[in-house]
């Protein structure tokens, strides 16, 4: 282990760093003379405890550096130890992010990056699963579906605990190819395994699409909730209102979620005075998100399916619990936990599950999902949205409900 001489050196350095400022007159912190800092025994013992706590880490790092057969950058070893600290939590949504990974995550929330265009998550049995492909992206055009399992990327196997690594490989320079190995469980229970080669491109996510349907029924499709979504939603709502909208359909199908601040801003426009959602930490501390009295007072239907997750479920759950509108489609994905993203000084960061969220009726849907008010299965090969109205029976039913209100 570390020698007494080295231990003393570490303590000395710690003291010098901690007390670089003049501390004369401080009973707890100690005081400085010409060539040393004198501290109370209690503070000295604290520093000894810190040194002892990380002694094993320092010893192993030095042992690896001196004895490992192959060259390995110490920075990589250090960052690996930080990743391990979060990996041990066995939570697929919590992770340490290198500077590159953290920047990549921030890019996604801003709605633009380079890759194949797919939202993925992790199953309870540690598999990478497609939550939804993003509309009109390479993944969507290649036929990836909600529920597909990604077993390999470029021939290398990735389990759920290596999600970030798999995502990093799927991203890349526009115009380059990546091979995705898919395991698809079909409705009859049989499995289909195949590879698909997808060409990466710049992904600019348009989170809001809207149009006025027949009978003055407004249609707004929300593909995800990023920093711009609530503002774009209000723009769409204003345009449809100007055109004479008398009923509204919001399409959350294959919307994997996003920022809680974005979805609650949109819910505020729709719900009237109520609780939208609240989050609760392990200590029972709650944070409430409320809407005011103002609301869009027209008939409302929300389309959901198994690809509607997280922030989508916040909106769907609030609308269902407050009877503000009717949910049509199939049961949602079931992600009811919240991650906090915390940047660190060197550009890296951590993503940590810190709370779970509840609907206005105190329901946590994590691992359960939200059932629609009107259950309708979309045929497997059917398109969806206004361009496929003749085969989109979920949208057809939503229109019928609006007309009856």
User: pLDDT, tens digit, for every residue of 271-324?
Assistant: 999 999 999 999 999 999 999 988 999 999 999 999 999 999 999 999 999 999
At 32 the pLDDT is 67
pLDDT band (50, 70, 90) for residue 1? very low
Rounded Cα distance, 255 and 131, in Å: 8
Residue 12: pLDDT over 80: no
Rounded mean pLDDT, 3-26: 41
At 31 the pLDDT is 63
At 22 the pLDDT is 42
Report the Cα–Cα distance between both ends of the chain, in Å, rounded.
Answer: 76
**Higher pLDDT, residue 369 or 92:** 369
Q: What are 167's two structure tokens?
A: 């995502």
Phi, psi dihedrals of residue 123, rounded to the nearest 5°: -85, 170
At 276 the pLDDT is 97
At 20 the pLDDT is 42
Residue 6: pLDDT over 60: no
Rounded mean pLDDT, 32-37: 72
Compute how many other C-beta atoms are within 10 angstroms of the C-beta atom of residue 356. 16
Residue 26: pLDDT over 70: no
Residue 16: pLDDT over 50: no
Q: What are 182's two structure tokens?
A: 């898919």
Whole-number average pLDDT of the chain: 88
Rounded Cα distance, 218 and 220, in Å: 7
Residue 18: pLDDT over 50: no
Question: Which residue stretches of 272-356 are H helix?
Answer: 311-321
Q: What are 329's two structure tokens?
A: 């489609």
Summarised one tens digit per residue, pLDDT across range 187-229 is 888 999 999 999 999 887 789 999 999 999 999 999 999 888 9
At 110 the pLDDT is 67
Residue 11: pLDDT over 50: no
Summarised one tens digit per residue, pLDDT across range 159-172 is 988 888 899 899 98
Catalytic residues: 310, 321, 335
Phi, psi dihedrals of residue 173, rounded to the nearest 5°: -65, 140
Compute how many other C-beta atoms are within 10 angstroms of the C-beta atom of residue 397. 18
Rounded mean pLDDT, 362-378: 95
Residue 42: pLDDT over 60: yes
Q: Going by DSSP bridges, is the β-strand pair 149-153/128-133 parallel, antiparallel, or unpaired?
A: antiparallel
At 111 the pLDDT is 62
Q: Are residues 209 and 229 in contact, defined by beta-carbon separation less than 8 angstroms?
A: no
Summarised one tens digit per residue, pLDDT across range 72-96 is 888 888 888 899 999 899 888 899 9
Q: What are 56's two structure tokens?
A: 């094993």
At 14 the pLDDT is 42
String of b and e for 116-135 (b: at least 16 CB within 10 Å)?
bbbbbbbeeeebbbbbbbbb
pLDDT band (50, 70, 90) for residue 8? very low
Share of the chain above pLDDT 70, in %: 90
């Amino acid at each position: 282990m570390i020698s007494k001489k080295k231990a003393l050196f570490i303590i000395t350095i710690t003291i010098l760093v901690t007390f670089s400022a003049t501390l004369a007159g401080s009973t707890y912190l100690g005081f400085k003379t010409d060539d040393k800092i004198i501290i109370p025994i209690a503070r000295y013992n604290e520093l000894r405890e810190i040194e002892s706590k990380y002694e094993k880490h320092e010893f192993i790092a030095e042992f690896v550096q001196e004895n490992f057969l192959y060259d390995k950058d110490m920075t990589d070893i250090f960052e690996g130890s930080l990743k391990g600290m979060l990996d041990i939590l066995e939570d697929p949504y919590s992770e340490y992010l290198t500077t590159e990974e953290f920047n990549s995550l921030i890019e996604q929330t801003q709605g633009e990056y380079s890759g194949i265009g797919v939202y993925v998550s992790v199953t309870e049995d540690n598999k990478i699963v497609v939550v939804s492909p993003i509309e009109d992206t390479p993944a969507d055009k290649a036929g990836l579906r909600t529920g597909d399992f990604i077993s390999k990327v470029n021939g290398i196997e990735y389990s759920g605990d290596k999600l970030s690594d798999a995502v990093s490989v799927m991203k890349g320079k526009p115009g380059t190819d990546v091979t995705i190995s898919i395991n698809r469980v079909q409705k009859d229970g049989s499995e289909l395994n195949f590879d698909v080669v997808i060409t990466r491109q710049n992904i600019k996510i348009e989170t809001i699409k809207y149009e006025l349907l027949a009978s003055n029924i407004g249609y707004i499709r929300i593909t995800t909730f990023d920093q711009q979504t609530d503002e774009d939603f209000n723009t769409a709502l204003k345009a449809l209102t100007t055109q004479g909208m008398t009923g509204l359909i919001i399409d959350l199908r294959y919307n994997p979620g996003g920022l809680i601040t974005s979805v609650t801003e949109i819910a505020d426009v729709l719900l009237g005075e109520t609780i939208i959602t609240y989050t609760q930490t392990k200590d029972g501390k709650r944070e409430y998100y409320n809407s005011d009295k103002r609301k869009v007072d027209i008939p409302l239907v929300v389309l959901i399916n198994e690809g509607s997750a997280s922030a989508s479920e916040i909106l769907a759950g609030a609308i269902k619990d407050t009877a503000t509108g009717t949910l049509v489609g199939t049961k949602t994905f079931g992600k009811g936990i919240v991650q906090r993203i915390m940047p660190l000084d060197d550009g890296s960061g951590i993503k940590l599950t810190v709370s779970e969220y509840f609907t206005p009726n105190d329901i946590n849907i994590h691992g359960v999902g939200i059932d629609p008010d009107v259950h309708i299965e979309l045929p497997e090969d059917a398109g969806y949205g206004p361009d496929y109205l003749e085969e989109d029976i979920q949208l057809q039913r939503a229109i019928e409900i609006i007309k009856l209100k």
